[in-house]
Structure 1
Amino acid sequence: MTRRSIGIIVNGVTGRMGYRQHLVRSLLAIRESGGVTLADGTTIWPEPVLVGRNETKLRELAERHGLTDWTTDLTSALARDDVEIYFDAQVTQQREKAIRQAIEAGKHIYTEKPLAEDTAAALDLARAADAAGVRTGVVQDKLFLPGLRKLKRLIDGGFFGRILSVRGEFGYWVFEGDWQPAQRPSWNYRAEDGGGIVVDMFPHWHYVLEELFGRVAAVSCVTATHVPERVDEDGRTYPATADDAAYGIFELDGGVIAQLNSSWCVRVFRDELVEFQVDGTEGSAVAGLRRCRAQHRAVTPKPVWNPDLPVTEDFRAQWTEVPDNEEFDNGFKVQWEAFLRHVVAGEPFRWDFLAGARGVQLAELGLRSAREGVRVEVPELNS
């Protein structure tokens, strides 16, 4: 058995996503499981090169996991011959410049979303990477969630008949930072720093809708900044200038209507932090991060509206749990494995920079819809 080591720059590794999901639960987890094995028996072995701005944090993180390869100098890391992949988990405002450096260095690139701050920049990155002949990928982790994979199984099996609508609820209460620390970094709530829930979540909704139900043809959106003032990590009060909630309607090719609410100002009264209800002529399903429950038309009850009588039916008990039928690994890890196979063995990987640019486009048009109070059509985006 041949082991093929591959150097991977992990930029932004001291941040929440870069550390937890991409280093610990993906790259280090891949090493702990013995690497990624190809069809010819070759094992891909990731060698992380940790990159960030804070030397102290980098050193502590590396020592915690028995790693020795770290630096605050991105340019020198990109110049190394043993580094083949650049991964970016920085704040969005820092991403475009670093990715351009990686393209110029001839590295394959995998990145968190959004790819860039606007559609024009995202498209330009896609074209530059294509011209340089480097392979690209954008994180689209929710496609690999157990709940959505079970939902996809129902769709592929024709369970729904003709799909009519999708209703999604995402969010939770993010504390303001005064009497309890916030669960998200303060830059998320400053538009000038690239914050906002539309920029954060609409790229997710784009790939979920497109992969499962159809291309987004039009968007109507209302945004809000429900909490106008928050407290940052240093205890300083600051004005929240970015949207912290978005209420969107997405019209899909084929006639499916999707309504998705995204909010950091909502208390959770559902089974999971995100849930999608899909209704079709033959059946319905509700999918979350891990669970998926379904109800076929043949067993659908016949509720009667009568506000004068108490409800005696347990509506939730009338739905059937969709079985796992397989073991589900961490979604970030699964997509990392697919990207590594793409780079080393040329296996297909459709979530490239152009796919990422379409997510940026939907966020941009959603913000335009909210700003102008209009329905906005979403044009085809091609390289």
Structure 2
Amino acid sequence: MADKTLGVILNGATGRMGYRQHLVRSILPIIEQGGVELSDGSRVQLDPILVGRHEDKLKAVSEKHGGIKYTTDLDSVLADDKYPLYADFLVTSARVAAIEKAIKAGKKAVYTEKPIAETLEDAVELVKLGKEHDVVSGVVHDKLFLPGFLKLRRLIDSGFFGRILSVHGEFGYWVFEGDWHKSQRPSWNYKKEQGGGMISDMFPHWNYIIENLFGRITDVYADAKTEIPDRWDEQGNHYDATAEDAAYAVFNTVNGITVQMNSSWNTRVFRDELVEFQVDGTLGSAVIGLFTAKIQARPATPLAFWNPDVPDPHNYWDNWQEIATDEQFENGFKAQWEEYIRALVEHKPYPYDFESGARGVRLANLGYESAKEGRKIEVPENLL
């Protein structure tokens, strides 16, 4: 039995991300395991309440998962001291107002999806508001908690790479346009006026990955493209895509590492996973996916020759070794939830906070500025 209980408001838990990643794969498994284990061996159990606009959807989710409490009245639950933690999984355009309301209602703990705001100005205001009210904030940085990136962190910490020289990242897959084949992404992703766009969606991810693994970003050069302007929505109606569906960028870090990142919803996958990073260093290289990690050490590097006149007989795939591990990795979203709750309850600093989230929004804004002006844009060292 848990030693204490923590009430959690889940606003937007019937949406795609809120339901699948946060409720089903994080909150419910934490409850089933008896709560989050703290450093002293005690446990804190979660007591969630679902919040949304549509009572029928809330009721359906509640009944499916054993009768979770729910309400359409956000104000009433924000006023309830039994629920000190507010978690936000709304669409980005609604996030700032909801978080501000929660903080002004007295909530001292806020956990939210990213991006935390559509504009840098709003993101900075959230940072300031959080500091003013002593809020313990957490922003989802899920990829840092996935097996591939955990393995990459260990490689870096072990000195495997020697001096890291560069990183080349490929992200994306083919998203159907929606005419003859249903699209697998919501139509708002392609509408700028609704907060859509590859840069606003993915640059916050690239920011926290780069700054936590390779160093603070010092400048960005980006090119944004709307490569497929005609798409069809969930009802089969044609619409003009007003947001970019691909972005190609180069980031430099304070550690002298160049990170090249291609992000596209218009590419057919020829790699092991939908996102991969190749990290090259003086002593070795690694290719990292969300789950896999393959390495090639300096002594195992083949002697390659450039000869365009004859086929190359060497099979370069054979020179890569999969990292073997018997470790069982948790779902990345669940692992971060546990880390945040542990920091919250034990009154410890949490690194992935509003300010970290705001830096992600800033990188997206600077990426748009770079794409518009066609030049490299410096990233200031300080946010505030």
TM exceeds 0.5?
yes
8 A Cα contact 1:169 1:262, kept in partner? yes
Partner of 1:137: 138
Asked if the contact 2:220/2:251 (under 8 Å) is kept, the reply is yes
Structure 2 CA distance, aligned partners of 1:179 and 1:239?
16
Residues 13-22 or 59-68, more deviating: 59-68
CA–CA distance in 1 between the matches of 2:54 and 2:227? 33
The alpha carbon displacement at 1:325 in A equals 5.0
Equivalence for 1:154: 155
- 3-state SS, counterpart of residue 156 of structure 2: helix
Check the 8 A contact 2:246/2:264 in 1, yes or no: yes
Distance 1:313 1:5 in 2: 59
Q: Superposed, which structure 2 residues align to 1:1-383 within 5 Å? A: 2-107=2-107, 108-383=109-384
Mapped to 1, the partners of 2:380 and 2:10 lie a distance apart of 34
> SS state of the match for residue 291, structure 2?
coil
Normalised to the residue count of structure 2, the TM-score between the two structures is 0.97
Say which SS state the counterpart of residue 83 (structure 1) adopts.
Answer: coil
Provide the aligned length of Structure 1 versus Structure 2.
383
Structure 1 residue 2, shift from structure 2 partner:
4.5
Aligned-residue RMSD, C-alpha: 1.2
Offset, 1:320: 1.1
Quote the Cα distance in structure 2 between the aligned partners of 1:351 and 1:157: 23
CA distance, structure 2, for counterparts of residue 138 and residue 8 of structure 1: 15
Is the alpha carbon distance of 1:41 and 1:153 closer, same or farther for their aligned partners in structure 2, counting shifts above 3 Å? closer
Q: CA deviation at 1:268?
A: 0.4
Deviations 1:152-187 (A, max 9, x none): 111101111111100000011111112221111111
For structure 2, list consecutive stretches of 5 or more residues without a partner in the other structure.
none
**Where does structure 1 lack aligned partners over 5 or more consecutive residues?**
none
TM-score w.r.t. structure 1 length?
0.98
- Which has the larger displacement, 367-376 or 337-346? 337-346
Describe the shift of the 1:222–1:382 C-alpha distance in structure 2 as closer, same or farther (beyond 3 A): closer
C-alpha distance in 1 between matches for 2:264 and 2:82: 43
Corresponding residue SS for 2:372: helix
| Cα distance in 2 between the residues matched to 1:335 and 1:261 | 26
- 8 Å Cα contact 1:358/1:381 also seen in 2: no
Kindly indicate whether the alpha-carbon contact (under 8 Å) linking 2:48 and 2:68 is maintained by their aligned counterparts in 1.
no
CA distance in 2, matches of 1:293, 1:68: 42
What CA distance in whole angstroms lies between the structure 2 residues aligned with 1:44 and 1:311?
59
CA contact (8 A) 2:7 2:83 kept: yes
Residues 14-47 of structure 1: CA distance to partner in whole angstroms, max 9, x if unpaired? Answer: 2111000000000001111221111333321111
Moved over 4 A (4+): none
SS at 2:84 equivalent:
strand
Task: Tell me which amino acid in the other structure corresponds to 2:301.
Answer: T
2:256 aligned counterpart, secondary structure: coil
Deviates more, 1:343-352 or 1:242-251: 343-352
- Which secondary structure does the structure 2 equivalent of 1:326 belong to? coil
